[in-house]
Structure 1
Amino acid sequence: MPTPYETPIGSWTRPTTFFWAATGATFGLANVWQFPYLAGQHGGGLFILLYLACLLLVTLPLMVTESAMGRYARHGLVLAMDGFVRSARRSRAWMWTGRLGVLAAFLVLSFTAVFGAIALAYVFYGAMGRFIGAGEAEAAGILSALVSDSRDYRVFMGWHGFFLLLVVWVSMQGVVDGVERAVRVVAPAMMLILLALCGLAAWSGDFRSASDFMLDFRPADVTLDSLRAALFHAFFTLGLGMGVWTLFGAYTPADTRLKRSVLAVVLMDTLIAIGAGLAIYSLAPDGHSMEGERGFGLLFLSLPVALADLPGSQFLV
């Protein structure tokens, strides 16, 4: 076995930080703009069961393995692989598995930063009431002006820089004062917002129709493509292969129950995805269905329009 690296990176002060960090990392765009659509199109509750099977049988063991590698090596994926390769006296070509993981994380950050910039701008647009009374055509005009208009595009680049600045600033504070403090605030806050949206959906939305669409068992809709979609989404939403779980493991205290924590993250990620779908489809405006929508248009066009006319929409959009 490789000799563990001793580095000054430190570790999280609480065992539960692994759960909050991993939950915050997995609660992303895929839960909002992809999973609800996939569940609705591939059998509802049956797709959710199929997805859970893919998580538990395929991705969960990989997550535990990657996290355990990081906790043992106390380094990121590249240097962790270096230690294992040296100890096992294997070809240095195995180092490319770590390097490609870092490259994949960089590519994901390149488009995540764009979405993050738009989301930051929408926080202020929603607070100013720009979406109140707007239809999808008006929402498309607002989005188009933000990302393509010559004047507003400079504003968008400002949001883009602000988003990256926040990421860099948190990282520079270190493991405990930066990353740990941020995830222990941001991750619970995201869950509270989702719970509030689900409560609002049950109170003023068409919660029954959304439940039927998301949770009813429809065997006729389950095909081989459903299995492919479930497996792909299981890998995509959990960020496997990018070294993220290796870093989480590297920061994790030795007394953290890793397997239990990873299982809790997997189950919480699934509950969050289901809750997001119920909220989205319940809050669709009268006469309009979002059941066939997903992706960029759902997140930045249909959803702001659906939320804009609700009570307190300035805080929701």
Structure 2
Amino acid sequence: MVGTTGAAPGHENWSSRAAFILAAIGSAVGLGNLVRFPAEAGANGGGAFVIFYIFCIVLIGLPVLLSEILIGRHGQAAAPQSVRKTARDSNASEAWSILATIGMIAAFLILCFYSVIGGWVLYYIGTFAGEIFNSGLFSGAFQGRSAEDVQGLMPGLFANGSLQVILHLVFIGITIFFVARGVNRGIEFVATWLMPIFFLIFLGITIYGLFTGDFGRTAEYLFTFDLSKLTGPVMLAAVGQAFFSLSLGSAMMITYGAYAGRDINLAKTSGIIATADTSVALLAGFAIFPIVFAAGLDVSAGLGLMFQTLPVAFQTMPAGTLIGLLFFIMVFFAALTSAVALLEAPTSWALDKFRMGRQRTTMITGGLVLLVGGVAALSSTVFAGWEPLGFIPLFEGQDFFNTLDVLTGKVMLPVAALITAIFVGWIADRRLLDAENGLDGAMHHIWRFLVAWLCPIVLIAILVVGIFPGILG
């Protein structure tokens, strides 16, 4: 039954606390957890980086996460409208809604290139499914092909602009389908079915990697405590990873918070979301690196680790074809739940503003993503060499695809999160939000201190270093 306690007329709520948690976890868990975190940890001090990362999740990520969800539940509307209501009820200027507007636009732009990556994942699902048809379920992947040939699959895809556009269209089409079905029949359905399956596959691949791969070297790589590597830039990298891992600043958590019933303890729920997201990041190394190390391959290739290094590793592993297929299905589930949240943020705003009905609004919003994302999909072919913001030093040498990535990751998300921390910590009526944050006693005062003082300072540092990367030498 759809909860409606405290909701505006016609406003959908999550059917249960579990549904909200799964949807929020699905929005946060993505490629950054599965690839970027373990690579960053291994290259930047192992255990020292991991411990500092967890420290950042608790002191930076969690306070901002709770703040965003609080704004959403108080407003019970799309992200900008929720901030405006919170500002009005606090006798503050509605101009503070700029934080949600920036985040919502960032979510739209992120989806424009994220859906292209989602198309790459679909390509590899199809490739491994074809390998099963050709070689059998339990064979090593790509039998009879050289490692160079397997690694060449990705450059081959990049050279095929038409195929990238088609795959992008399929991925965004699936995303539109579920968002158009609404909160309960679409977004919640995806979360409650796909996230449990994701975790089952994730656990299975982790166990597979531990038994067939190089567990000892993985543990040494990730958890050797090398304090000398924990320099200023490395610590800021850990803070940035913690911040982006939880999808902060993109208006997604404000949007999802708007569907949370008044009976949900937001502090406990935020803690569960942060714990699950961090656990996926920590365990991802043990799902991926034992396989890569056992094959004698490089683990520091970024996205290339997923799309080039791992397929070669599956070539040498028992049942590599099956494991490869399951791995990319798992990645697809993570990408889809994140994409659904990214599309819901601007769709929710358009739905509240124009009242055109959810299906029509989703089609229009998703159609715009399709068009802009189509340009991103052609960045390596038709639009190769085009640097739309190349006259700005930060974007010099960046094609359209990477411009979207840099603009959102280094500018828009930190700015939106910084304004959020200032708004909640200094502007919004304390009694308004404190009454429903789920905290009391010392924990309440700690959250207040963190969101008002520590979070703004750290977010300013992330923003400055992101825009001026040479500032630390």
What TM-score do you get using the length of structure 2 for normalisation? 0.62
**Per-residue deviation, residues 78-116 of structure 1 (Å, max 9, x unmatched):** 111221233344334323222111111011111110110
Q: Which moved more, 1:227-236 or 1:5-14?
A: 5-14
Pairwise CA distance, 1:200: 0.5
- 1:101-116 pair list within 5 angstroms: 101-116=103-118
The one-letter amino acid of 1:65's match is S
Q: Equivalent of 1:146, from 133, 137, 157?
A: 157
CA contact (8 A) 2:75 2:82 kept: yes
Unaligned runs of 5+ in 1: none
Mapped to 1, the partners of 2:53 and 2:157 lie a distance apart of 36
The one-letter amino acid of 1:282's match is P
Q: Which moved more, 1:213-222 or 1:239-248?
A: 213-222
Are residues 1:307 and 2:314 paired? yes
Q: Equivalent of 1:188, from 172, 189, 196?
A: 196
User: Which residue is equivalent to 1:118?
Assistant: 120
User: Which residue is equivalent to 2:40?
Assistant: 38
Mapped to 2, the partners of 1:72 and 1:301 lie a distance apart of 45
The one-letter amino acid of 1:41's match is A
Return the structure number with greater relative CO, CA threshold 8 A, min gap 6.
1
User: Which residue is equivalent to 2:60?
Assistant: 58
Pairwise CA distance, 1:147: 2.7
Pairwise CA distance, 1:218: 1.8
Pairwise CA distance, 1:174: 1.0
Mapped to 1, the partners of 2:321 and 2:243 lie a distance apart of 34
The one-letter amino acid of 1:141's match is G
Mapped to 2, the partners of 1:44 and 1:116 lie a distance apart of 29
Mapped to 1, the partners of 2:205 and 2:86 lie a distance apart of 46
Q: CA RMSD in A?
A: 1.9
Q: Equivalent of 1:248, from 243, 253, 256?
A: 256
User: Which residue is equivalent to 2:303?
Assistant: 296
Pairwise CA distance, 1:286: 4.5
**SS at the partner of 1:112?**
helix
Pairwise CA distance, 1:311: 3.1
**Per-residue deviation, residues 115-154 of structure 1 (Å, max 9, x unmatched):** 10010111110111285144442133222222323xxx32
The one-letter amino acid of 1:202's match is L
User: Which residue is equivalent to 1:172?
Assistant: 180
User: Which residue is equivalent to 1:137?
Assistant: 148
Residues 55 and 135 from structure 1, CA distance in 2 versus in 1: closer, same or farther, beyond 3 angstroms? farther
Mapped to 2, the partners of 1:309 and 1:26 lie a distance apart of 32
Residues 67 and 58 from structure 1, CA distance in 2 versus in 1: closer, same or farther, beyond 3 angstroms? same
Mapped to 1, the partners of 2:164 and 2:42 lie a distance apart of 34
The one-letter amino acid of 2:280's match is I
- 1:254-269 pair list within 5 angstroms: 254-269=262-277
Pairwise CA distance, 1:232: 0.5
**SS at the partner of 1:284?**
helix
Are residues 1:85 and 2:93 paired? no
Mapped to 1, the partners of 2:263 and 2:317 lie a distance apart of 46
Q: Equivalent of 1:236, from 226, 241, 244?
A: 244
Are residues 1:12 and 2:14 paired? yes
**Per-residue deviation, residues 17-50 of structure 1 (Å, max 9, x unmatched):** 1221121122111112211111112221221110
The one-letter amino acid of 1:75's match is A
Residues 286 and 249 from structure 1, CA distance in 2 versus in 1: closer, same or farther, beyond 3 angstroms? closer
Mapped to 1, the partners of 2:146 and 2:254 lie a distance apart of 44
The one-letter amino acid of 2:154's match is L
Mapped to 2, the partners of 1:89 and 1:286 lie a distance apart of 61
Mapped to 2, the partners of 1:167 and 1:51 lie a distance apart of 31
Mapped to 2, the partners of 1:201 and 1:302 lie a distance apart of 15
Mapped to 2, the partners of 1:242 and 1:275 lie a distance apart of 25
User: How many residues are treated as equivalent by the alignment?
Assistant: 310
Mapped to 2, the partners of 1:302 and 1:309 lie a distance apart of 12
Residues 5 and 139 from structure 1, CA distance in 2 versus in 1: closer, same or farther, beyond 3 angstroms? same
Mapped to 2, the partners of 1:255 and 1:140 lie a distance apart of 51
Q: Percent identity?
A: 28
CA contact (8 A) 2:71 2:254 kept: yes
The one-letter amino acid of 2:260's match is T
The one-letter amino acid of 2:231's match is T
Mapped to 2, the partners of 1:236 and 1:155 lie a distance apart of 30
The one-letter amino acid of 1:55's match is I
**SS at the partner of 1:283?**
helix
Pairwise CA distance, 1:185: 1.0
The one-letter amino acid of 1:143's match is M
CA contact (8 A) 1:210 1:278 kept: yes
**SS at the partner of 2:152?**
helix
- 1:276-295 pair list within 5 angstroms: 276-284=284-292, 286=294, 288-291=296-299, 293-295=300-302
CA contact (8 A) 2:7 2:261 kept: no
Mapped to 1, the partners of 2:323 and 2:9 lie a distance apart of 42
CA contact (8 A) 1:207 1:282 kept: yes
